[in-house]
């Protein structure tokens, strides 16, 4: 899709979003205000009628006059008027609506569905609300107000002699709100069309410099840290954007160079305090006479080890400096060295390390392979303490080194995910970083190898790294870019 089309569509989307964001709240607010005003007017009207009628008019001798007064009030408000006694029994009714139902005189109207009457009679408060009339098929306003008996003024408690209930249509208000809303939508669509025409005209002047800027951004994203937008001519905003882009690219380049220096020095700077902390904890553990204190200190010592391992792994993830040169490496010798390095740690983790297999040679960087093995052994001790074998040999023309444990194994559904960065299984114990297998995979692939996670038939997990065999002529001449 061309830049101009993208700009037009983006501008149209923004306009549409603004129109919707303004129209919808405006329509809801308009309806809410109209309803609020109507409810307030209905309450005032009901209270006024209740005050005019008075408690004296509810006496049996006044029933004929009460009906006549209800009809007069009904014509004045153009709505239905019902007058009832304190029990909710209808004493008079006047209904101007077309096709009126049977007269409700004598019927008890204080029912749960007519909550406004209950509020007026029980609480002595006016109440109004809008609801749907199933009989009439449209919305109506209902309002009720108590008729106060003023003859009991000497009493400390207000006496409610009855109530008046009025009902009238609100469809006119609803139709007005709907018509105004439709008008707002039509105006909005007209604004959208006009905005699209303007956007189409402006898009041409923006497209060319933005296309050039996009190409420069792609070069920078592809790793060319020297890519700059330069002197781009166009609208002032685009020129400012190009200048800001170049400033950003300068900062990215400086940050990248600073990262190189950080990676070169951070390991030593971070390891020094961790080493000091470990020595102090170990010395305190040796001097501790309280068994519980000694146990806590040994646990803290293991936490420091895990922290140091996590620091190393995070640094290795960010490592993008100079790579070591390949050499002919005996994987069996690397396995033997790993056992020596990890013997004490394995013993502390209730594990045993053994080497099984024959010599296997490959052209790789020994430091990378050692790091790969360290990560796998560390994982095995941490997640599956017990007997751990480091196996070496040749298979299908490839040299391999594998770490085999006898733990609970890895579920089949998780086996393909455990080499992903920061992935940790559901049953993993706390303390891991989710990086060990990911780093091992990257190190294997960097030298033309592979890493596989297997599920032996007799339980546990076997992680195998395979490399080109030095005797097959498949020699790596340098690290492979697997990013």
Tell which of 137, 153, 176 closes a domain.
176
The CATH number of the domain holding residue 317 is 1.10.287
Host domain of residue 289: 228-322
CATH of residue 353's domain is 3.30.565.10
Domain finish residue from 322, 353, 379: 322
Co-location of 171 and 28 in the same domain: yes
Please identify, among 302, 322, 342, the residue that sits at the C-terminal boundary of a domain: 322
- How do the pLDDT tens digits run along the chain, 483 residues long? 465 566 667 666 776 777 777 767 776 777 777 778 888 888 898 899 988 888 888 888 887 888 888 888 888 888 889 999 989 899 999 887 655 556 788 889 898 888 889 898 888 899 998 877 776 677 788 999 999 887 755 555 678 889 999 988 776 666 766 776 777 677 777 777 776 677 666 666 666 677 777 788 888 776 677 888 877 777 777 778 888 888 888 888 887 777 666 655 665 567 678 777 888 888 888 888 888 888 888 888 877 877 777 666 666 655 544 455 577 889 999 999 999 889 888 888 899 999 988 888 898 888 888 889 998 998 889 888 999 999 999 988 899 999 999 988 888 777 777 777 666 666 555 555 567 788 888 888 888 899 998 888 888 899 999 998 876 544 444 443 333
pLDDT given for residue 483 in this prediction:
33
Same domain, 297 and 385: no
Let me know if residue 218 belongs to a domain. no
126 and 234 inside one domain:
no
Counted domains in the chain: 3
98 and 72 assigned to the same domain = yes
Residues 403, 344 within the same domain: yes
Residues 124 and 272 placed together within one structural domain of the fold:
no
CATH of the domain at 163: 3.30.450.20
SS3 sequence of the chain? CCHHHHHHHHHHHHHHHHHHHHHHHHHHHHHHHHHHHHHHHHHHHHHHHHHHHCCHHHCHHHHHHHHHHHHHHHHHHCCEEEEEECCCEEEEEECCCCCCCCCCCCCECCCCCCHHHHHHHHHCCCEEEEEEECCCCEEEEEEEEEEECHHHCCCCCCCEEEEEEEEEECHHHHHHHHHHHHHHHHHHHHHHHHHHHHHHHHHHHHHHHHHHHHHHHHHHHCCCCCCCCCCCCCCHHHHHHHHHHHHHHHHHHHHHHHHHHHHHHHHHHHHHHHHHHHHHHHHHHHHCCCHHHHHHHHHHHHHHHHHHHHHHHHHHHCCCCCCCCCEEEEHHHHHHHHHHHHHHHHHHCCCEEEEEECCCEEEECHHHHHHHHHHHHHHHHHHCCCEEEEEEEEECCEEEEEEEECCCCCCHHHHCCCCCCCCCCCCCCCCCCCCHHHHHHHHHHHCCCEEEEECCCCCCEEEEEEEECCCCCCCCCCCCCCC
């Amino acid at each position: 899709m061309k830049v101009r089309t993208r700009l037009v569509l983006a501008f149209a989307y923004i306009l549409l979003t603004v129109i919707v964001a303004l129209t919808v709240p405006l329509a809801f607010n308009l309806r809410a205000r109209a309803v609020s005003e109507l409810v307030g007017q209905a309450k005032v009207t009901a209270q006024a009628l209740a005050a005019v009628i008075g408690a004296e008019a509810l006496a049996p001798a006044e029933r004929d006059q009460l009906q006549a007064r209800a009809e007069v009030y009904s014509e004045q408000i153009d709505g239905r008027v019902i007058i009832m006694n304190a029990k909710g029994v209808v004493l008079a009714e006047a209904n101007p609506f077309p096709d009126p139902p049977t007269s409700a005189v004598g019927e008890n109207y204080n029912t749960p569905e007519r909550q406004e009457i209950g509020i007026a009679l029980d609480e002595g408060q006016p109440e109004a609300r809008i609801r749907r009339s199933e009989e009439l098929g449209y919305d109506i306003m209902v309002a009720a107000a108590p008729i106060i008996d003023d003859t009991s003024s000497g009493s400390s408690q207000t006496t409610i002699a009855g109530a008046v209930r009025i009902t009238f249509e609100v469809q006119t208000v609803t139709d007005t709100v709907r018509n105004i809303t439709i008008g707002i939508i039509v105006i909005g669509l007209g604004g959208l069309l006009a905005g699209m025409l303007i956007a189409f005209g402006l898009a041409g002047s923006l497209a060319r410099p933005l296309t050039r800027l996009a190409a420069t951004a792609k070069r920078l994203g592809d790793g060319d840290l020297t890519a700059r937008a330069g002197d781009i001519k166009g609208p002032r905003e685009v020129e400012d954007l190009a200048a800001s882009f170049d400033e950003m690219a300068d900062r990215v380049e400086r940050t990248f160079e600073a990262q190189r220096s950080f990676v070169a020095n951070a390991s030593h700077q971070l390891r020094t305090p961790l080493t000091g902390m470990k020595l102090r904890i170990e010395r305190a553990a040796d001097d501790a006479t309280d068994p519980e204190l000694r146990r806590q200190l040994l646990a803290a010592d293991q936490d420091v080890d895990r922290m140091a391992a996590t620091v190393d792994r995070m640094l290795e993830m960010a490592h993008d400096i100079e790579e070591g040169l390949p050499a002919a490496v005996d994987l069996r010798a690397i396995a033997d060295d790993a056992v020596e390095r990890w013997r004490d740690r394995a013993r502390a983790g209730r594990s045993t390390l053994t080497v099984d297999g024959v010599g296997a040679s490959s052209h790789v960087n020994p430091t990378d392979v050692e790091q790969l093995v360290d990560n796998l052994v560390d994982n095995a001790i941490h997640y599956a303490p017990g007997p751990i074998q480091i196996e070496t040999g040749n298979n299908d023309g490839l040299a391999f080194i594998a770490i085999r444990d006898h733990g609970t194994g890895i579920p089949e559904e998780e086996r393909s995910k455990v080499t992903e960065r920061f992935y940790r299984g559901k049953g993993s114990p706390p303390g891991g970083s989710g990086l060990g297998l990911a780093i091992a995979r990257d190190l294997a692939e960097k030298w033309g190898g592979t890493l596989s996670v297997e599920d032996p038939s007799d339980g546990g997990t076997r992680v195998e790294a395979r490399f080109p065999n030095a005797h097959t002529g498949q020699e790596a001449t340098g690290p492979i870019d697997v990013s």
